[in-house]
Amino acid sequence: MASAGFPAKFLQAQFPNSRNNNTTTNSTPNHLILKRQPFLSPPFSWKPRPRFVCLLSKCSSNSNVIELDEEGHDLVKMTSFSDPGLYSKELGVGVRAVHMACLLCQKIQHALVLDTNEHVSSKDDNSPVTIADWSVQATVSWVLSEAFGSDNVSIVAEEDVQVLSKSDATGLLEAVVKTVNTCLAEAPRFGLNAPGSALCPKEVLEAIGRCNSTGGHTGRFWVLDPVDGTLGFVRGDQYAVALALIEDGEVVLGVLGCPNYPLRKELLSYHNGNQITITPPTSDTGDKGCVMYARRGTHTSWMQPLLRGEETFEWPNSSRKIQVSPIDDPELATFCEPVEKANSSHSFTAGLAYSVGLRNKPLRVYSMVKYAAIARGDAEIFMKFARAGYKEKIWDHAAAVVIIEEAGGLVTDAGGHQLDFSKGIYLEGLDRGIIACAGSKLHETLITAVDASWNSSSL
């Protein structure tokens, strides 16, 4: 559709509840209503591309929206995504890509639970990697490249193509290619373009290989962890799909898919003993699986359920606001920590927790689901203190940090400094560990306790 047939006064954003709109207003969240305003506050900077919005139909959330630049080119080729604000297209594509990836992972995990030896390999650090890792990375890479152009997309991601490129990995590559094509065939269900024909092995390897950015302090790049918590994934437990967008060293949006996370706090169940862990609901009645997301500067984080059966994705897909817990008393707070001891010290966090009065048993959870628990108010504290020699990677934190912060929480290192995502693939300059809290009072208490306890620790 060209812009020539429309006077300039009609090429403008229109609010569904404006005086000129006689239709019934709907319950679309405020962050999805058409706006022409920046969402970032200092120190963030932004240079929005010139754009106009032509609202073809004033029928609330199902309106067909076409974004046109000054030359009349279509910027957003999708329906039911009605916010042309800063990073809105990036957020919309990112949420859809992660949603697709979560459904892909659910199918593969189900097969893994039935056959624990199915397509599980190992990385150099002996951590497991499955066809889900490569398939998600290829899928998300292809979706982003299709939406924004491969020349405009830079991705930092965890997996590479070395294992899949080996001559003895033919069967594994075939499984990945089949999985990717099955997933991408569902793209129209999410309002995205599907490939004109099935991707061949070379194209799948190219999609994975495009995720070779090393990040940095300038420019724009995506950060992807295709399956965070692969050990939890192969054990039928918690895991996450994480995608963030970083611009000039700052995380500007984050999307966190948690396919096994219960949709409501009252559905959480725990193992008793010296620790507690989140147990995924065992039924298939729609009690588990969600995508959380946030955009920097909106002061709001959102959660939407995963699609069930043959449902079609229609924005905002039953999204609801989430916020951190109001609890600020250590005796009432629940703290999270990693399940495995390989890269973190449970003994130090246990001593620290006791010293500040935390009396609840630790919630040990695989992956960034720990962050999700804080963002939604299911827990109040996440502490991780890495063992000597271990370096935190940006894809393990970027997406979740912005979601917690926009939900009202804080995430810093143990010295109280913001995490620095501008130094490449690692969180360089990290002061001792990472502390995420639901509020400033708990955060200050923990920072003080770390300073008092650190010199006597054996980390």
Residues with catalytic function: 133, 230
The answer to whether the annotation marks 158 as part of a ligand binding site is yes
Phi/psi at 11 (5° precision): -90, 70
The answer to whether the annotation marks 237 as part of a ligand binding site is no
Cβ burial, residue 333 (10 Å; 0-12/13-18/19+): buried
Round to whole Å and give the CA distance between 33 and 438.
Answer: 28
The answer to whether the annotation marks 151 as part of a ligand binding site is no
Beta strands in 36-187 (DSSP E): 52-55, 65-68, 120-122, 128-130, 155-157
Q: Is the dihedral of CA 416, 417, 420, 426 positive or negative?
A: negative
Take residue 341 and report the two structure tokens written for it.
């001891």
Buried b (16+ CB within 10 A) or exposed e, 274-284: eebbbebbeee
Round to whole Å and give the CA distance between 71 and 48.
Answer: 16
* CA dist 199 → 39, 193, 211 (Å): 37, 14, 17
Take residue 206 and report the two structure tokens written for it.
């190219």
Which of 279, 288, 285 shows the shortest CA–CA distance to 257?
288
The answer to whether the annotation marks 168 as part of a ligand binding site is no
Cβ(276)–Cβ(363) below 8 Å: yes
Residue 320 pairs in a beta bridge with: 303
Round to whole Å and give the CA distance between 365 and 383.
Answer: 12
Cβ(288)–Cβ(259) below 8 Å: yes
Token look-up 């290619």 returns: 177
Token look-up 């966090």 returns: 349
Round to whole Å and give the CA distance between 291 and 96.
Answer: 9
List of residues 6+ apart from 34 with CB closer than 8 A: 13, 14, 15, 16, 53, 55, 65, 82, 83, 84
Supply the DSSP symbol for 142: H
Cβ burial, residue 152 (10 Å; 0-12/13-18/19+): exposed
Number of continuous H segments (helices) and E segments (strands) in the chain: 10, 16
Binding-site residues from annotation for Mg(2+): 158, 225, 228, 396
